[in-house]
């Protein structure tokens, strides 16, 4: 096999941009075109903004295509005309129908942020934290028409720490995705990249995150609530209510103590944070909050100005 491949890259967010960056830095292959989702309105002005992948492609003068769908015959023909050896897909956000998957000589490889078959779907990073998984990683998968059901070609494992948030784990896995992609392509060119079928019996589904699920239920154990706070940071951000107003929670941890106070009650407020009663008599320490109209601050900072609002005895989520 020729050591240099004609590659079409498809991706949209920062996670995907790291894989494209690694591919370009390796310099072994020709990225003949980049596919990314259409520009979206962003910011207060709602001006159209290019995706991170598009911005990177433009910096490297790579042709960018942004079809609204790949089911359009014209879009399929345009891709076929590129005559790619391989298509690399990372968090693209559009479905690839069978006639698209069949175009590249070597098919389509996907950079997926989980250890498949665990956490197929849209939000594998956050679901791994929510479930209390101790490790995650990157799977380079041969794509088929199913949802992350294709054969596994390469895998890199990575531990999840007790301090990892959705943001920190995303950033580390984005870098690992680029490294795994480069390693997998080296093996592919050498003819040493095996394909292992997934065990569907072990599959779990990482459904898309919603704002509604980020509302904390204080009847849950503190450990589970702490995982939710970490998983939903920075999107959609865990929240509760206090005196009828929404309070966002950016940092929290479960404490090794118990309480008889009802779930949601503020047990104490001091420089370390707010101690909140949670399910099964457990206690959650809130360390960083965002009150309505304000920015995220440590509880110590908030107590200097809002001590009355955060007094012991008040109940969150009531």
Mind listing the pLDDT tens digit for each residue in 102-143? 999 999 999 999 999 999 999 999 999 999 999 999 999 999
Nearest to 38 by CA among 93, 107, 110: 93
Answer whether 6's CB lies under 8 Å from 31's CB: no
Task: Give the Cα separation of 32 and 9 in Å (integer).
Answer: 8
CATH of domain 6-206: 3.40.50.170
Q: What is the pLDDT of residue 1?
A: 53
Answer whether 39's CB lies under 8 Å from 49's CB: yes
pLDDT in tens, 302-317: 988 777 888 999 999 9
| φ/ψ bin of 69: left (φ > 0), alpha (ψ from -120 to 50), beta (otherwise) | beta
In percent, the amount of the chain with pLDDT more than 70 equals: 99
Q: For the whole model, what pTM was predicted?
A: 0.95
CA trace torsion 277, 282, 288, 292 (10° rounding): -30
Per-block average pLDDT, block size 10, for the chain (318 residues)?
88 98 96 96 86 98 96 95 98 94 98 98 97 98 96 97 97 98 97 97 97 98 98 98 95 97 96 96 97 92 84 91
Assigned CATH topology for domain 212-310: 3.10.25
Q: What phi and psi, each to the nearest 5 degrees, are found at residue 84? A: -80, 150
Please give the structure tokens belonging to residue 200. 């569907």
Q: What is the total residue count of the chain?
A: 318
Task: Give the Cα separation of 209 and 95 in Å (integer).
Answer: 19
Domain ranges (residues) in the chain: 6-206, 212-310
Q: What is the pLDDT of residue 308?
A: 80
Task: Give the Cα separation of 298 and 294 in Å (integer).
Answer: 12
Nearest-5° angle of CA 41, CA 249, CA 274? 165
């Amino acid at each position: 096999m020729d050591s240099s491949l004609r590659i079409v890259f498809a991706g949209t967010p920062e996670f995907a941009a790291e894989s494209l960056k690694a591919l370009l830095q390796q310099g072994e292959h020709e990225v003949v075109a980049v596919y990314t989702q259409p520009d979206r309105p962003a910011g207060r002005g709602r001006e159209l903004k290019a995706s991170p992948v598009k911005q990177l492609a433009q910096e490297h003068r790579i042709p960018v295509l942004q079809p609204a769908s790949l089911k359009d015959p014209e879009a399929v023909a345009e891709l076929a005309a590129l005559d790619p050896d391989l298509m690399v897909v990372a968090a693209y956000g559009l479905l690839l129908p069978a006639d698209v998957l069949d175009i590249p000589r070597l098919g389509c490889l996907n950079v997926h942020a989980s250890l498949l078959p665990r956490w197929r779907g849209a939000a594998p990073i956050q679901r791994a934290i929510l479930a209390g998984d101790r490790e995650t990683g990157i799977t380079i998968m041969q794509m088929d028409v199913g949802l992350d059901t294709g054969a596994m070609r390469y895998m890199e494992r990575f531990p999840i720490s007790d301090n990892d948030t959705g943001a920190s784990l995303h950033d580390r896995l984005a870098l690992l995705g680029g490294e795994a992609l480069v390693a997998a392509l080296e093996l592919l060119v050498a003819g040493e990249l095996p394909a292992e079928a997934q065990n569907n019996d072990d599959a779990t589904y990482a459904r898309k995150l919603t704002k509604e699920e980020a509302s904390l239920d204080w009847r849950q154990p503190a450990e589970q609530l702490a995982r939710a706070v970490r998983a939903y940071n920075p999107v959609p951000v865990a929240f509760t209510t206090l005196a009828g107003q929404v309070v966002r929670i950016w940092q929290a941890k479960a404490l090794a103590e118990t309480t008889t106070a009802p779930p949601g009650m503020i047990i104490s407020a001091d420089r370390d944070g707010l101690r909140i009663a949670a399910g099964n008599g457990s206690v959650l320490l809130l360390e960083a909050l965002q009150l309505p109209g304000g920015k995220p601050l440590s509880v110590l900072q908030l107590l200097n100005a809002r001590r009355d609002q955060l007094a012991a005895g008040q109940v969150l989520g009531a």
